[in-house]
Amino acid sequence: MFVLAGSNSVLANHILPVLRDRYQVCAFDQETGDIEDETFLGKLFDETSPEVFINCVQLGNIEECEYKRDVAYRINGFAPGKIARLCKEKNALYVHFSTSHIFDGKKKSPYSETDEPNPISVYGDSRLMGEKHILESGCRYLIIRLYAVYGKGKSFLHDKFTRMTIDGSLQVIKNRFISPTYALDVASALNTLIDQKKEGVYHFANSGKATSLDFIRAAIDYYHKYSGKDLNISIYETDYEEYISPVERPLNNMLSIDKLVLETGINVRDWKKALDDFMKNNFFNL
Ligand SMILES: NC(=O)c1ccc[n+]([C@@H]2O[C@H](COP(=O)([O-])OP(=O)(O)OC[C@H]3O[C@@H](n4cnc5c(N)ncnc54)[C@H](OP(=O)(O)O)[C@@H]3O)[C@@H](O)[C@H]2O)c1
């Protein structure tokens, strides 16, 4: 039995169909069960005895994490520890998703799994706390670090399009490097990692290099191509240093996928191809 927490998340929307083709899966959302609730988790583990527990839950809004610090540390930091200890007890594999925000973004090239974390926000720090608790538990784990995940559901990409259509404009940072990641490709990579019985920390992203500006411009082009409508949006290009935000974010969010490619042989498609596929087949079918 596989158990998945966060069944309404963008990632789960792509992971669940892949898993359900092959395994018996018990998936729950926040209404069914709160991952902060130890009694609920204990009962869930007793009733399902999971072979694999996949956690797609997060408090992912970076601003919200700053003003709800306690909630951020509880969901992103302490809850993964509780789950990891239960996985240890039941000898289950714990699949956890983490983020490039555990790094400070000062490196000039993509981050690898062995780079030293140094978070600069509550979000990043709470996610790093989650990773540390997992390692301390002694459970079998697969931690997959991601950044800028889009897919079916309300991802950051839909937020950007909503903002663009309301305001008719968008301010985009031209010197921040990101790792655009289609959730469908995360699901496929996870499937391979599980099949190959991999454990440890892995980074995943679609391949290639992109700034936030490259990504938004490409998304708008595909929008025009597949909707036949002209959005008529003004893009204001800005440098990271001029961008006004209440929270500091890493300037470089690129994740190296060399380890994953080398160890699994996965062929990871380029970010533009993945985005094209998403805009063509899923963006308009929410
Ligand atoms: N999105 C990204 O760019 C990104 C980047 C790096 C890593 N990741 C990781 O990938 C995973 C999935 O991300 P996502 O963007 O797909 O997630 P998402 O769409 O933000 O969804 C998060 C889910 O967590 C659920 N949740 C929040 N608090 C909960 C609680 N106390 N108990 C149970 N469920 C709770 C929410 O339920 P409700 O819908 O009911 O509120 C929501 O379905 C996360 O682990 C995340 O850290 C994502």
Instruction: Give residue-wise pLDDT tens across range 37-49.
Output: 999 999 999 999 9
- Residue with the two structure tokens 């301390």: 136
Atom of ligand 1 nearest to the CA of 99: 6
2-212+242-281 maps to CATH 3.40.50.720: yes
Instruction: Give residue-wise pLDDT tens across range 75-92.
Output: 999 999 999 999 999 999
- 204 close to ligand 1 (CB < 6 Angstrom): no
Given this model, what pLDDT does residue 49 score? 96
- 80 close to ligand 1 (CB < 6 Angstrom): no
Query: The pTM is what?
Result: 0.96
Q: CA 214, CA 210: separation in Å to the nearest integer?
A: 6
- 58 close to ligand 1 (CB < 6 Angstrom): yes
CA of 229 to the centre of ligand 1 (A): 31
Phi, psi of 36 (to 5 degrees): -80, -15
Instruction: Give residue-wise pLDDT tens across range 84-124.
Output: 999 999 999 999 999 999 999 999 999 999 999 999 999 99
What are the residue boundaries of the structural domains of the chain, listed by start? 2-212+242-281
Q: CA 64, CA 195: separation in Å to the nearest integer?
A: 36
**Cβ contacts of residue 40 below 8 Å, gap of 6+?**
33, 34
Given this model, what pLDDT does residue 244 score? 79
- 76 close to ligand 1 (CB < 6 Angstrom): no
CA of 122 to the centre of ligand 1 (A): 16
- 149 close to ligand 1 (CB < 6 Angstrom): yes
